[in-house]
């Protein structure tokens, strides 16, 4: 219970601090949001998307799930992407993976996890497509890092093939797509792929089959 109440106390302190610095901090954000970024991150509690990028309230539209995945059948993420692109007109859509991701570790493990195995199936497909490359990694750490990179590239690739993004590009609209891997151990972002803004540029991201 104490841990939970601490959140409420922190919130009151934070709100007071923000208003202390800028009396209109909250009121000027009340009517509308104009974020320039949509970020798709992992649900992992060690990946504080706004905190690590210095994004203030109103600056970043956020979607999170286990393994920062983009599924073409997931109404949840597709709704988020469509609203961000077609209504908010964000300039950038970022897929952000991270080091030591539990989802990727679970995908490597042979053991069954129940329902979550379905959610991990796309990551396991990525592993199969890049089997040789992953097998050639010298250590388990290196293999996990490589998979985090490959997973981000795969998810940016899937995003680039959604009708939402393709239609936006056809209309000469934003956004640019980017892929990052956040390193929990250093707090720093590794830039994997940047400024993808055409189907041609995106074509190299996904396996040919
Ligand atoms: Co994760």
The string of pLDDT tens digits covering residues 46-70 is 999 999 999 999 999 999 999 999 9
- Give which of 15, 46, 33, 4 is closest to 183, Cα–Cα: 46
The structural domains of the chain, with segments of one domain joined by +, span 1-31, 34-202
Predicted local confidence at residue 114, as pLDDT: 86
The model's pLDDT over 79-138, given as tens digits with 9 standing for 90+, comes to 999 999 999 999 999 999 999 999 999 999 977 778 889 999 999 999 999 999 999 999
Ligand 1 center–CA 32 separation, angstroms: 31
Kindly name the residue from 44, 92, 122, 130 that is annotated as catalytic.
Answer: 44
For 153, phi then psi, to 5°, come to: -60, -40
Ligand 1 center–CA 187 separation, angstroms: 14
Per the annotation, the verdict on 96 as an active-site residue is no
Phi/psi region, residue 67 (left: phi>0; alpha: psi -120 to 50; beta: rest), is: left
What is the spatial distance between Cα 128 and Cα 166, in angstroms, rounded to a whole number?
27
Predicted local confidence at residue 204, as pLDDT: 83
C-alpha distances (whole Å) from 14 to each of 11, 52, 105 are: 5, 17, 35
pTM higher than the cut 0.85: yes
C-alpha distances (whole Å) from 198 to each of 33, 80, 108, 156, 163 are: 27, 20, 32, 12, 13
Kindly name the residue from 37, 63, 101, 197 that is annotated as catalytic.
Answer: 101
* 177, β-bridge pairs: 93, 196
pLDDT at 209 > cutoff 60:
no
Kindly name the residue from 46, 146, 161, 174 that is annotated as catalytic.
Answer: 46
Sheet holding 188-196, edge to edge: 60-65, 37-42, 92-98, 176-183, 188-196
Kindly name the residue from 37, 63, 92, 98 that is annotated as catalytic.
Answer: 98
The model's pLDDT over 148-181, given as tens digits with 9 standing for 90+, comes to 999 999 999 999 999 999 999 999 888 999 999 9
Secondary-structure class of domain 34-202 per CATH: alpha beta
Predicted local confidence at residue 113, as pLDDT: 78
Residue pair 61/35 in contact (Cβ under 8 Å)? The answer is yes
Residue pair 181/149 in contact (Cβ under 8 Å)? The answer is yes
Per-residue confidence at 208, pLDDT binned at 50, 70, 90? Answer: low
For 37, phi then psi, to 5°, come to: -130, 140
Ligand 1 center–CA 37 separation, angstroms: 20
Per the annotation, the verdict on 42 as an active-site residue is yes
Per the annotation, the verdict on 145 as an active-site residue is no
The model's pLDDT over 26-51, given as tens digits with 9 standing for 90+, comes to 999 999 999 999 999 999 999 999 99
Per the annotation, the verdict on 44 as an active-site residue is yes
Per the annotation, the verdict on 137 as an active-site residue is no
């Amino acid at each position: 219970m104490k841990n939970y109440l601490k959140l409420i106390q922190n919130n009151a302190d934070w709100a007071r601090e923000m208003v202390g610095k800028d009396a209109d901090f909250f009121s000027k954000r009340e009517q509308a949001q104009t974020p320039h970024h949509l970020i798709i991150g992992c649900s992992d509690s060690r990946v504080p998307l706004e905190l690590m990028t210095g994004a203030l309230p109103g600056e970043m539209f956020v979607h999170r799930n286990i393994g920062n995945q983009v599924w073409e059948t997931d109404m949840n993420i597709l709704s988020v992407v469509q609203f961000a692109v077609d209504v908010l007109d964000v300039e950038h859509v970022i897929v952000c993976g991270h080091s030591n991701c539990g989802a990727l570790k679970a995908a490597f493990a042979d053991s069954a996890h129940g329902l979550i195995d379905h959610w991990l199936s796309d990551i396991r497909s990525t592993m199969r497509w890049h089997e040789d490359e992953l097998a050639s990694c010298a250590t388990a750490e290196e293999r996990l890092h490589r998979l985090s990179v490959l997973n981000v590239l795969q998810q940016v690739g899937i995003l680039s093939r959604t009708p939402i993004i393709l239609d936006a590009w056809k209309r000469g609209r934003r956004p640019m797509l980017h892929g990052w891997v956040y390193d929990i151990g250093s707090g720093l972002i590794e830039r994997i792929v940047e400024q993808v803004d055409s189907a041609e540029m995106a074509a190299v991201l996904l396996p040919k089959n």
